Every structure is written in C-alpha cells, then in structure tokens.
Copies of this chain bind each other. A is one copy, B any other.
C-alpha cells in the first residue's frame, strides 16, 4: 500500500481529531476531511487537507478514519441518512478505522453492519491527550481482521508514533482501552494517597512528584498530571464522571469474565465519594465538570488537610 497514493478520509476535528489528521497531512498523505462544524477543519486546507461538504463525499476513500464522541455518533457518521455509506454511487471505503472510545457492544454492532457492506473494521482507540499528540507521543491499540490492520498500521503509526499494538480480533482493542482507563483511575487515586501522605509529613508536592516522575514508577501520565496536583489547576482533561464510567465498564467486564478486581473496586468507590463531597462546593455541577484530578481535594478533606497551590512551575514531560 504505497504511501501518498491511497486516499484517506477523516471524520472528527475535535481536540484529538484535528492534530491527528494534521500529522497525516504533515506526512504527505492525501486526506479528505469532514466535520460537522466545517470551519474547524479549514485551517488544515493550508496543509493540503481537502475539506468536503458531505459525509458521502468520503465514500470513495480507501481508508476512513473516525474519532467522534459516542458510539451513536460513529453510527450516524457511517450509517446515517447522510452518512458515508449513503453515497449515491454505492461506493464503500475498504477499511474503516475508528479511534473513538466507545462501548464493546456498540463496536460489535457497527462491525456487523460494515461487514454486511463488505468493509473491514478496525477498532483503534488511542492513549493520550491533545498535548501528547503534539509531543509526538500518542500510542494506539488495534483489533479487527489482521490483514486489514496491516494495511492501515503505517497510517495509525503516523499519528501514534509511540506505537500501535495489535491485540486480536473483534473488539479486543476496546477492552484494552477500558483496561487502560482503569489503570489511569487506580494510579491517580494511589498517587493522591501517597502524595498527600508525603505532603502532610512535610514534603512539598512538587518535590515528591519530581522524585516519582524520575523514578521507575514515573509515566507520561504521572508527569502530565503533576502540574495539576502541585498547583491545583483543575482544567478539565477528563471528567470524574467519564472516569467513573470507565471504571464501571472495567468492573463490568471483570464480572462477566469472573476476574476479581479488588483494587479497581476500591478505587471506584473512593471516586464515588468525590461526587458527594462536591456538594460542599457552591456550584457542585460546575465542580464536577472540572478535571478528575480534583479528587485530590476530596481525599485531602478526608485526610484533614486543606491544600493550597504551591505555585511552582512543574514540567509536564511533554515540553519540546
């Protein structure tokens, strides 16, 4: 599959989708882009992106990427009245690659429908946020028919240069993404526990996290959350509600498969206390729209601590 020859379609210009598509363009690919709010895509025209008006304009591409908010959105984009598959010419992209984070059942249903239309489906959720993409450190996980995956693997690697791992058939990549987010929840809760402990005993949070980040336990995640835990900046990257949903999805899989997950369960219940403690705030709903790392405030309350920002410039590990 010669680079630059195949035609790529891209749907989704959100905080993730835009910089991911941009990487494909920067690498010289032929990318046609559709977005509900067309204006968001337009800056990419300067980089060679072909902004299209209708989803059905993408019916003729070889590989169609999507990264949207929900399973229903993926469904609408593919199968809606004005969806990619509604093209008058009856054309169908050979491979669909969906990078959204959606449920296993939704993914399975979409796969079935695409198969019926003769198209292959690769589920390929990613690990990282917009800053991670910009730093060239995004990674991905993929599942679906292996031959189809091998065709699109170099494309995925273009925007996920930290590596794309093929994990098997069907929706297994969705399972891996849920497992990934379970770990994210457990690690943030534990990191908060030990950061508060060290802090209460006299270690500045920035000093403690500097040690942890340099240590064998340090990850991209512990590094890019450090500024938040040090300076109490709860600018949203992921809400407590979304994290709780993913922990529940993980526990649900554990139940269906008879795998005990005691530490995941303990984490989930502590995260739940954050929703109750939010009622102490003047605008609880607004507070719960802030970043999940604000859980540190709830844990601090339970530790009898009142946190103050340390106002320290802390590296997030994604600096260029």
Contact = CB atoms under 8 A, between A and B. Distances in A.
A186 B263 contact: yes
Contact of A179 (B194, B299, B300): B194
Interface string A51-71: 000000000000000000000
A167 to B, nearest CB: 4
For A127, A203, A215, A303, the residue with the greatest tally of chain B CB atoms inside 10 Å of its CB is A215
Interface in A181-202: 182-184, 186-187, 189-191, 193-198, 200-202
Contacts of A169: 202
For A198, A221, A222, A306, the residue with the greatest tally of chain B CB atoms inside 10 Å of its CB is A198
For A127, A262, A279, the residue with the greatest tally of chain B CB atoms inside 10 Å of its CB is A262
A162 interface: yes
A160 to B, nearest CB: 8
Size class of the A contact interface (CB-based, 8 Å): 35 or more
Interface stretch (A9-17, A40-48, A81-89, A246-254): A246-254
Contacts of A278: 304
A130 interface: no
Interface string A196-232: 1110111110011011101111111110100000000
A214 B163 CA distance: 6
A303 B260 contact: yes
A228 B184 CA distance: 22
Interface stretch (A23-31, A109-117, A268-276): A268-276
